[in-house]
Amino acid sequence: MQRNRMELRFVSLSQNESFARAAAAAFAAQLNPTIEELADIRTAVSEAVTNAIVHGYDSRTEGIVTLICEISGDSFTAKISDMGCGIADIVQARQPLYTSKPEQERSGMGFAVMEAFMEEVEVQSAPGRGTTVTLRKRITR
Amino acid sequence: MELRAARRGARLTVQLVGELDHHSAERVRSNLDHMLRDRTIMELHLDMRGVSFMDSSGLGVVFGRYKTLRARNGKVILSNVSPFVDRVFRMSGVYKLCERI
Ligand SMILES: Nc1ncnc2c1ncn2[C@@H]1O[C@H](COP(=O)(O)OP(=O)(O)O)[C@@H](O)[C@H]1O
Ligand SMILES: [Mg+2]
């Protein structure tokens, strides 16, 4: 597989969480991943998209979430972006069990799941400007 | 996500069917809490057999119900956890709090 790319833009409705992770997994299927690898991608993308909706846009619906998926060689990349509130302290946000919304029964395990299921998790964020999470995984078969 | 509930003595068994994510969690949570208003329920058994997908939002649902049952000296029991769901559960330490059968 050489290079391929897709881009999705959708409003920040929770209904779109399943749609977004399914689309990312369907796109990644071109790399012939195992069922486990597909489940990893589906779950990690779900975490990042949910965060954009719940935290980035604080569960309001006027926000746009962008999901860009790329294939390059045997590498799969998903970039999930919002233009929401941003993260002031990224190191703290990535700590397992840290959540800024305990009252909404968030577990604080979203970043830990992304890190466990993908090889690389990069977070770019600035308060008031939004967040981009880049997830990377090599599919070697 | 669909819930199928059955009561036997102090135990409430709820079979979860479908995808457990942030979107479905809201309804699962309110349905479970509605059933748990019956204070004679001491054990909440979540049958995970039908859960085809779960992310960390599902953990919040389980931890939240654990707190509710814990407060009345009851417990949460998890069963038929698929390997995919198990990976997320294991990371979270949920098995230190909830029994697995
Ligand atoms: N897209 C985002 N925009 C703003 N804040 C975010 C975003 N993603 C994550 N965060 C912050 O990072 C914290 C940890 O995220 P996560 O590990 O997924 O846990 P949870 O979603 O359960 O709170 C969140 O509570 C939030 O404060
Ligand atoms: Mg999260």
Q: What is the CATH number of the domain that holds A49?
A: 3.30.565.10
Q: What is the pLDDT of residue B32?
A: 98
pTM over 0.90: yes
Option in A17, A109, A112 nearest B21 (CB): A17
Assembly ipTM: 0.95
Ligand 1 contacts CB of residue A55 (under 6 A): yes
Q: Give the separation between CA B58 and CA B61, rounded to whole angstroms.
A: 5
What number of other Cβ atoms are within 10 A of residue A130's Cβ? 21
Nearest to B16 by CA among B40, B38, B49: B49
Q: Where are the domains of chain B?
A: 2-100
Work out the average pLDDT over A120-141: 96
Pairing, β B43-54 against β B11-20 = parallel
Question: Does any CB of chain B come closer than 8 Å to the CB of residue A83?
Answer: no
Q: Catalytic annotation on A47?
A: yes
**Is the pLDDT score of A1 beyond 70?**
no
Architecture per CATH, domain B2-100, reads as 2-Layer Sandwich (3.30)
Per-residue pLDDT of B27-50, as tens digits, reads 999 999 999 999 999 999 999 999
For A128, the domain range is: 3-138
Nearest to A89 by CA among A52, A121, A126: A126
Cβ contact A104:A14 at 8 Å: no
Residue B49 pairs in a beta bridge with none
Number of domains in chain A: 1
CA of B13 to the centre of ligand 1 (A): 32
Per-residue pLDDT of A49-70, as tens digits, reads 999 999 999 998 789 999 999 9
What number of other Cβ atoms are within 10 A of residue B92's Cβ? 23
Smallest CA–CA distance from B67 into chain A, residue? A105
Interface test with A, best of B1, B19, B23 (most A CBs within 10 A): B23
CA of A123 to the centre of ligand 2 (A): 13
Contacts with A, B 63-92, CB within 8 Å? 63-64, 84, 87-88, 91-92
